[in-house]
Amino acid sequence: MNLGKMLEESCRQYAENVAIIHDNISLTYNELNWAVNALGNWLRSLGLKKGDKVALLLSNCPEFIISYFAVQKIGAVAVTLNIMSTAYELRYLLGNSEAKVLITEASLTKRFEEISGDVPLCRRLLVTNGLDTTSPFGDIIKEGPFTLDMPEIAGDDHAVMIYTAGLTGRPLGAILTHRNLLGQSNIIRDLCGGTEKDRALSVIPFFHSFGAVANMLGTVRIGAGMVLMDRFSVDNIFSAIERDKVTYIASVPQVFLGMLLQEEGKRYDLSSLRLCITGGAAMPAEFIPPFEKRFGVKVLEGYGLTEASPVCTFSRPDMAQKPGSIGVVIPGVEAKIVDDYGKKVPAGESGELIIKGENMMKGYYRDEEATAMVIRDGWLYTSDLAKIDEDGYIFLTGRKKRMIITWGFNVYPREVEIVLEMHPAVKSSRVVGMSDLMRGEVVKALIVKNKGADTDKKSIIRHCRKYLSLYKVPRKVEFVENLN
């Protein structure tokens, strides 16, 4: 089994089920598979072969899903990129991944044009502009051919590359296999009790590992429907639940906090909603009971990381819930807490959480040294501090590495510091996280200016926006005499 065959299996069983709802467009599983095959044939006509990389710079739109599965069906590797990436970031991501094709939206092409001369391997750009409009992408999926012969694709073959923040300031490409992602889609199916009658609201981006697994792959696995959101607002969420009879939402805690704090939600019919899954960051335990009471749903909390495909733990619906816990390990995964020397600590004591299982990535692309730092003796070292109680419930207690989590996205301070120190007025900098109710954390920059330099906070932020994705840009800048 591989991801392409998973789609075909769902198409055989649920051919006329609605697979995608987006604005005024809906596609059945049959229609989705036809579009996937048409695009797969076009990609193959470019000379792409098994293992080649295709970069996707797309929002939550039908074109993302079509492109993702087309890449899988020809045995290539989908490199899913954050649409907030700047031209500066794309230069590195496209170069490091060795992507040969970039599929992106018309509104984002300027970023690629700025750096195309620096990424010679990426020789083809395919532009999308909606399925019902004239665009190269639209023409391809309408013209066919609509059948596609798949090559032999094994479970251990590379399927997806997702870039995650790196300690040195450069992102690392985590390689996930078909087996990794099929296992995760089965976990979502089994633990959430979903059926082909469900409708999942895709709030978090598909380029995020949690969004791809919980909202796309897990949904396709059971032949259910995906309601796509590419413009986030709490009102849009409520409207989509009522209009499209959404039954399931998997998202970051900040989305659910926004729903809880938005009084306007009381005027919508939200009775179809049955389950909410939170991940990407810790959900404040005190908010879960009032959320469940107000919306009449069960909230399940999970934990994961990109390198684990991503889900590692889950608070299963058939088990007692413990406030503050991220649940227990999912089937097929082992976990233990170790000290600084890799020795297991007693139950209830805090240490580094390490995991082992079929969800573990193959490694970081073209970086054996970074891979060896996190995968040791068959265990994935998460750099998260945690403790496990006598019942196997896991509780996060802190972080071993410097990292900021904002809106569910990881930010390594060193990456931001490198950009800050490119500014001519900055002598040195330190980046830290500040607590924020709606974002989890935000980025704060402490800056020592060069002697005689004249700059202000607005200039620093403008500089960062040129080089960094918006969520990495400091929300607060403070000038200091020294960093001691």
Give yes or no for residue 133 having a pLDDT over 70. no
Banded pLDDT at 114 (limits 50, 70, 90): very high
Query: pLDDT > 90: what percent of the chain?
Result: 88
Banded pLDDT at 437 (limits 50, 70, 90): confident
The torsion region of residue 427 among left (phi > 0), alpha (psi -120 to 50) and beta comes to alpha
How far apart (Å, rounded) are the C-alpha atoms in residues 99 and 48?
11
What integer pLDDT is reported at residue 51 of this predicted model?
98
pLDDT digits over 207-255, tens only? 999 999 999 999 999 999 999 998 889 999 999 999 999 999 999 999 9
**Mean pLDDT of all residues in the chain?**
95
Give yes or no for residue 92 having a pLDDT over 80. yes
Q: How many CB atoms lie within 10 A of CB 450?
A: 13
Read off the DSSP letter of residue 344: B
CA distances to 70, 257, 297, 334, 468 from 252, rounded to whole Å, are: 28, 9, 16, 24, 22
Q: Has domain 405-479 been given CATH number 2.40.110.10? A: no
What integer pLDDT is reported at residue 168 of this predicted model?
75
Query: In a 3-state reduction of DSSP, which class is residue 435?
Result: strand
Distance of CA 333 to the CA centre of its chain: 20
Between 168 and 464, the more confident residue is 464
Between 236 and 136, the more confident residue is 236
Lowest mean pLDDT across 103-112, 169-178, 377-386, 397-406: 397-406
Catalogue the E-assigned strands of 165-289: 172-177, 199-202, 225-228, 248-251, 275-278
What integer pLDDT is reported at residue 246 of this predicted model?
98
CB 442 within 8 A of CB 409: no
- Residue indicated by tokens 């092409």: 109
Mean pLDDT of 287-302: 94
Give yes or no for residue 132 having a pLDDT over 80. no
Its CATH class, for the domain covering 3-295, is alpha beta
Write the single-letter amino acid at 296: G
What integer pLDDT is reported at residue 316 of this predicted model?
84
Mean pLDDT of 158-165: 97
CB 68 within 8 A of CB 80: yes
What integer pLDDT is reported at residue 319 of this predicted model?
86
What integer pLDDT is reported at residue 282 of this predicted model?
83
What integer pLDDT is reported at residue 320 of this predicted model?
86
CB 475 within 8 A of CB 442: yes
What integer pLDDT is reported at residue 29 of this predicted model?
99
CB 112 within 8 A of CB 89: no
Mean pLDDT of 108-117: 95
Listed in order, the ranges of the chain carrying CATH 3.40.50.12780 are 3-295
Instruction: List, edge to edge, every strand of the sheet that includes 124-128.
Output: 124-128, 101-105, 53-57, 77-80, 158-164, 172-177, 363-364
Listed in order, the ranges of the chain carrying CATH 3.30.300.30 are 405-479
Predicted TM-score (pTM) of the model is 0.95
Q: How many CB atoms lie within 10 A of CB 145?
A: 11
Give yes or no for residue 23 having a pLDDT over 70. yes
Query: pLDDT > 70: what percent of the chain?
Result: 99
How far apart (Å, rounded) are the C-alpha atoms in residues 50 and 154?
11
Straight-line distance from the first to the last Cα atom of the chain, in angstroms, rounded to the nearest whole number: 55
